[in-house]
């Protein structure tokens, strides 16, 4: 059996091929990330990952530790913040959102927030009295 397998390579982002989207001062600034997400999100897609350099990862850890305690933030691995999976990059400073994930909408509700269903046909639940 001879199968064709596509082994395409996706380049690994780094500070040379991708520009940092923000420069943080000495504290974590959630408003900066919120603005980037507003700019990069569409009606059906939003970024999936937040790539952080050592400085930015440290600022985020401090920010989360102040809210949840030092013991709750020993690592950012597997952490999601504002809907983005955090990925630490081993470079001094870096801040970049990347990837794409679909925006989820309840059944019968479209990306503009309106339901196009008529009557009860779009309902998930129905009350049936026999």
Question: pLDDT tens digit string along 103-121?
Answer: 665 555 555 555 444 444 4
Provide the number of structural domains found in the chain.
1
Per the domain annotation, does 12 fall within a domain? no
Q: What is the mean pLDDT of the chain?
A: 77
Per the domain annotation, does 108 fall within a domain? no
Per the domain annotation, does 70 fall within a domain? yes
| Helix residue ranges per DSSP H, the chain | 30-40, 54-68
Question: Rounded to an integer, what distance in angstroms lies between the CA atom of residue 60 and that of residue 95?
Answer: 11
pLDDT at 57 over 90: yes
Q: What is the pTM of this model?
A: 0.68
Per the domain annotation, does 97 fall within a domain? yes
Segments forming the whole domain that contains residue 95: 36-101
Per the domain annotation, does 116 fall within a domain? no
Per the domain annotation, does 7 fall within a domain? no
- Of residues 104 and 70, more confidence is placed in 70
pLDDT at 102 over 90: no
Nearest alpha carbon to residue 24 among 61, 65, 59, 62: 59
Q: pLDDT tens digits for 3-43? A: 444 334 444 555 567 788 999 999 999 999 999 999 998 88
Per the domain annotation, does 48 fall within a domain? yes
DSSP line for the chain: ---------PPPP-TTTS--S----SS--HHHHHHHHHHH--SSEE--EEEE-HHHHHHHHHHHHHHH-GGGGS--TT-EETTEEEEE-SSSS-EEEE--EEPP--TTB-TTS-B---TTTT-S------
Per the domain annotation, does 114 fall within a domain? no
Question: Rounded to an integer, what distance in angstroms lies between the CA atom of residue 28 and that of residue 11?
Answer: 28
Question: With contact defined as beta carbons under 8 Å apart, do 93 and 18 qualify?
Answer: no
């Amino acid at each position: 059996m001879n199968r064709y397998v596509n082994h395409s390579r996706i380049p690994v982002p780094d500070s040379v091929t991708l520009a940092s989207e923000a420069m943080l001062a000495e504290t974590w600034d959630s408003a900066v990330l919120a603005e980037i997400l507003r700019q990069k999100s569409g009606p059906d897609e939003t970024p999936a990952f937040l790539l952080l350099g050592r400085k930015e990862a440290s600022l985020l850890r401090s920010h989360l530790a102040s809210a949840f305690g030092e013991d709750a933030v020993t690592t950012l691995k597997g952490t999601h913040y504002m809907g983005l999976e955090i990925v630490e990059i081993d470079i001094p400073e870096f801040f970049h959102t990347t990837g794409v994930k679909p925006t989820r909408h309840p059944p019968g509700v479209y990306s503009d927030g309106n339901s196009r269903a008529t009557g009860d046909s779009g309902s998930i639940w129905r009350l049936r009295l026999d």
